[in-house]
Amino acid sequence: MSELDTVAVLGTGTMGAGIATAVARSGRQVLLVDTAPDRALAGRRSVADTLATGVRRGNLTAAERDETLDRVRPVSSLPEIADAAVVIEAVPEDLEVKAEVLKRVEQVCSSEVVLHTNTSTLSVTAIAGRLHRPDRLIGTHYCNPADRMRLVEVAPARQSDPAVVQQTVEFVRHLGKDPVVLKDTPGLLTNYLLVPFENDCVRALEAGWATAEEIDLAVTAGAGFPMGVFRLLDLVGLDVHRAVSMSLYDQFHDQRFAPPPLVARMVAAGELGRKSGTGFYRYED
């Protein structure tokens, strides 16, 4: 796979835009796909905002920012991605939705395309079982924020071609990230460990043990986390966290994965985090 190969990213939310940023920074052309043209454009603006932040922090130059953004093209129809060498699906965490989107991709792309599903809680094997070419699918779970975090969990389906596994490991390394190949299990490794911890932090907040700021300080200054739990939840989105937690709870039937009532109340109130302007913290911009 060369640096000139085109990569399509399906989904323009926080994860999709972050993955698109990481891929574009590696030198590849990126097609950022959403069937709603306004959301596709909004996804590219998210990439632009992330790159602008990188310039302010001194992580890249203004010229590098412009060159990277030029490699990201928003598109709103699947036939436009027919020549993509890799398609990364980052749509909502719903097996039927992901399978349907990937089946549509199969109809327009070549038989050699490599399909990545960014699921963190669903069975990659089950998604592959819905496809015409299940051997071309593999799971790649990017840690949030996808443009900055180095770890990518690679989860082959039972049907995945070994060559696809090797190509995917090389692809991830070319992004400057660290791949770890795991068994296809719910939550993989990071969410299996992280989601119960996040829920425990919310329960501590709900019980009045400490404020969100104090818990985040304990997590960063005491435990060495690079970001506080509540800052991370606001970045991911409380609606996304609740969906991930419920998916894991439904599969494991373990109370540690059940989202606390506070999460449901915040989602019902539209307090989703950064994307809504209010979550555990308030955001002016």
Looking at the structure, do residues 149 and 27 belong to the same domain, yes or no?
Answer: yes
In this prediction, residues 171-199 reach a mean pLDDT of 96
Q: How many CA atoms lie within 13 A of 198 on its CB side?
A: 28
Looking at the structure, do residues 197 and 154 belong to the same domain, yes or no?
Answer: no
* DSSP, res 143: P
Helices (H), the chain: 14-25, 37-56, 62-70, 95-108, 124-128, 162-174, 190-206, 212-217, 229-236, 238-252, 261-268
pLDDT (tens digit, 9 = 90+) per residue, 239-279? 999 999 999 999 999 999 999 999 999 999 999 999 999 99
Q: What's the pLDDT band for 3 if we cut at 50, 70, 90?
A: very low
Q: Give the end of a domain, one of 153, 181, 209.
A: 181
Query: Could you give the residue numbers annotated as active site?
Result: 120, 141, 153, 191
Its pTM stands at 0.89
pLDDT (tens digit, 9 = 90+) per residue, 57-81? 999 999 999 999 999 999 999 999 9
In this prediction, residues 17-43 reach a mean pLDDT of 95
Looking at the structure, do residues 173 and 216 belong to the same domain, yes or no?
Answer: no
Q: Give the end of a domain, one of 123, 150, 181.
A: 181
Q: Is residue 228 part of a domain?
A: yes
Looking at the structure, do residues 100 and 196 belong to the same domain, yes or no?
Answer: no
Q: Give the end of a domain, one of 127, 146, 181.
A: 181
Q: Is residue 281 part of a domain?
A: no
Q: Determine the Cα–Cα distance for residues 61 and 51; give it in Å rounded to an integer.
A: 9
List the CATH number of the domain containing 159. Answer: 3.40.50.720
The whole domain housing 47 covers 6-181
Looking at the structure, do residues 214 and 157 belong to the same domain, yes or no?
Answer: no
- According to the model, what pLDDT value does residue 144 have? 85
- According to the model, what pLDDT value does residue 39 have? 93
Q: Is residue 84 part of a domain?
A: yes
Q: Is residue 124 part of a domain?
A: yes
How many domains does one find in the chain? 2
| One-letter identity of residue 109 | C
Looking at the structure, do residues 242 and 121 belong to the same domain, yes or no?
Answer: no
Q: How far is CA 177 from CA 18, 23, 144, 219, in A?
A: 13, 11, 13, 24
Q: Is residue 55 part of a domain?
A: yes
Q: Is residue 283 part of a domain?
A: no
List the CATH number of the domain containing 255. Answer: 1.10.1040.10
In this prediction, residues 133-161 reach a mean pLDDT of 96
Judged on CB neighbours under 10 Å (0-12, 13-18, 19+), 234 is buried
Looking at the structure, do residues 23 and 159 belong to the same domain, yes or no?
Answer: yes
